[in-house]
Amino acid sequence: MALVINQRDPLSRQIGDYYQQRRGIPEANIIRVEFTPGKRVLTRIEFEAIKQQVDAASGEQWQAREPIPTLADILPLLESSDSVQLEIKSDQPARLSKLIKATRQLLRDCDRHRYTLTSFDQRALRLAKSLAPEMPRGLVTESRFVDNISRAQRLACSVLVYHFRILSQRQISRAQARGLQVSSYTVNDLAQVKKLKGWGVDSVITDHPVRYLHLAEKTHARHH
């Protein structure tokens, strides 16, 4: 495992130091890069400059690393899943359109209703509605200070994905009463998962799905 830290970003350094300590990552596995923080989208030139820093710092021990799997690679592993969320990151409109069209084409032989396109980016969700209208959409949010339910409905979303720290039982009930499914991210604590399930959340997003699979199986058994 390698950990990349942006030396120009105090938050990146803080999170990186915490993660290194909690996971016991040796200093030899830390890759420190420098680029201007605070940008939501990088140009290709900016990305390539950062990648060059990572490649230069990674050394020969990382040259045999596994390639990042594509959606096409993992689709066969998702065939038994009841539902799958595919998050779209913010990007330029032309690139977003290309991505959505490619995803729709890739899923042409699948039950597209099992795949929900989610995003923080309202522009991406509007494009998804236009270019892949048959696919469900989900609004991802970490804000307490907007009417997330009304915003999701204006975007014709069927799922509202809250950060778990801002989610309450009342919010879940209100959203579900308005016809929305409620999901929560990124929940890696067993007690928190159990609390959210007790509140009636429809799904949770976690870095450890196998660890919490037994909870989903128990819930499924109770409903059948």
Domain boundary among 62, 87, 102: 62
Average pLDDT, the chain: 88
Whether residues 33 and 87 share a domain: the answer is no
Site of tokens 């950990």:
3
% of the chain at pLDDT higher than 70: 91
Site of tokens 């059948």:
224
Domain boundary among 44, 62, 80: 62
- Alpha-carbon gap, residue 202 to 100, rounded angstroms: 25
Whether residues 84 and 179 share a domain: the answer is yes
Whether residues 118 and 215 share a domain: the answer is yes
Tell me which amino acid residue 130 is: S
**Taking 80 as the threshold, does the pLDDT of residue 213 lie above it?**
no
Q: Mean pLDDT across the stretch 176-197? A: 94
**Taking 90 as the threshold, does the pLDDT of residue 134 lie above it?**
yes
Whether residues 54 and 75 share a domain: the answer is no
- Alpha-carbon gap, residue 139 to 158, rounded angstroms: 8
Q: How many CB atoms lie within 10 A of CB 177?
A: 9
- Report residue 224's pLDDT band, with 50, 70 and 90 as the boundaries: very low
Phi, psi of 19 (to 5 degrees): -65, -40
Whether residues 111 and 131 share a domain: the answer is yes
Domain boundary among 34, 62, 90: 62
Q: Which domain holds residue 48?
A: 3-62
Report if pTM > 0.75. Answer: no
Write out the E strands in the chain. 3-6, 30-33, 84-87, 115-119, 137-141, 159-163, 181-185, 203-204
Whether residues 56 and 85 share a domain: the answer is no
**Taking 90 as the threshold, does the pLDDT of residue 168 lie above it?**
yes
